[in-house]
Structure 1
Amino acid sequence: MAYSYEPHYFEDMEVGKTFESVGRTVTESDFVFHSMFADDWTELHTNAEYSEEGPFGERIGHGPMTFILTTGMVQRCGFVERTVIAFLGMNYMDVPNPLTIGDTISSEFEVTEKQEFDSREDAGLVVIDAETRNQDDEILLQGDMKFMFKRRDFYGDKPGNP
């Protein structure tokens, strides 16, 4: 596992390379901020009394919130800092278990694919599998993330680049 906060260029990303995030505890404020930002006030996420009677016995996080927290974990690992040009999407995303207030989550990332672009010489495609778990080792999110990484040989010798 790579633990340092070190930017990685396309050339640094090899299939099989892994990264692990630090932990983060999800708070009541996270739920409120996500609802405000997304303008999604579904009672399963925001109404404690309603949710207590529901299928999970408590409020749960929005599925997209789990994804957003996972993307934050990518940032906290540092390998995308100043070297990613764009997030290009996902081939799949599964949210098999709910996120709850008080969960402490962390993520693991593995490079599963690397391709050069035919259309540009300054960047390449890197696909990274992501898995986010809670303190009970339950999987909250699994998916892949497609990134456009800068190439060192194009950007690396420019001022202001890592």
Structure 2
Amino acid sequence: MAYSYEPHYFEDMEVGKTFESAGRTVTESDFVFHSMFADDWTELHTNAEYSEDGPFGERIGHGPMTFILTTGMVQRCGFVERTVIAFLGMNYMDVPNPLTIGDTINAEFEVTDKQDFESREDAGLVVIDGTTWNQDDEVLLEGDMKFMFKKRSAYEDDPDSP
């Protein structure tokens, strides 16, 4: 398991390599900022009275909010810093449990695939599976993320590369 905040190039990303994020506690402010940024004022996120009588008994964050927090945890791990050219999408995302205010969440990421691009020599595809869970070990999100990573050999003389 890699804990350091160390950028990784395509060559550094081996299938099976894992990274674990630092934890963070989800706050009322997180819910408000998400609603403001996404313009998502769904009552399950913003109305305590309505949500109390709803299916979860409290306000919840839905999948997109959990995904955004998970991508932030990727950044906090550091392996994508200055070495990722693009986020290319996902093959799947499952959200089996809701996120709630006060949850302390963590995430683990594992490299599951690595491929050269036929169309470019300076970068390659890395697929990373992620799992985010809360303090009760309930899985909140499972999914993969496809990244275009720089190849070290193509950027050795770049002063902005790590």
What TM-score does the superposition give when structure 2 sets the normalisation length?
0.99
Aligned equivalents of 2:12, 2:33: Cα separation in 1: 35
Query: What secondary structure sits across from 2:56 in the alignment?
Result: coil
Aligned equivalents of 2:147, 2:43: Cα separation in 1: 34
For residue 6 of structure 1, report the CA deviation from its aligned partner. 0.2
Detail structure 1 runs of 4+ shifted over 2 Å in the superposition: none
Aligned equivalents of 1:97, 1:86: Cα separation in 2: 28
CA RMSD, Structure 1 to Structure 2 (Å): 0.5
For residue 159 of structure 1, report the CA deviation from its aligned partner. 1.5
Return the letter of the residue paired with 1:114.
K
Query: What secondary structure sits across from 1:2 in the alignment?
Result: coil
Aligned to 1:50: 50
Q: Which runs of 5+ in 1 are unaligned?
A: none
For residue 160 of structure 1, report the CA deviation from its aligned partner. 2.3
Q: Which runs of 5+ in 2 are unaligned?
A: none
Aligned equivalents of 1:132, 1:93: Cα separation in 2: 11
Query: What secondary structure sits across from 2:161 in the alignment?
Result: coil
Aligned equivalents of 1:76, 1:156: Cα separation in 2: 24
Aligned to 1:126: 126
For residue 156 of structure 1, report the CA deviation from its aligned partner. 2.5
For residue 134 of structure 1, report the CA deviation from its aligned partner. 0.2
Aligned equivalents of 2:71, 2:144: Cα separation in 1: 11
Aligned equivalents of 2:158, 2:100: Cα separation in 1: 44
Aligned equivalents of 2:129, 2:62: Cα separation in 1: 21
Matches within 5 A, 1:7-86: 7-86=7-86
Matches within 5 A, 1:80-159: 80-159=80-159
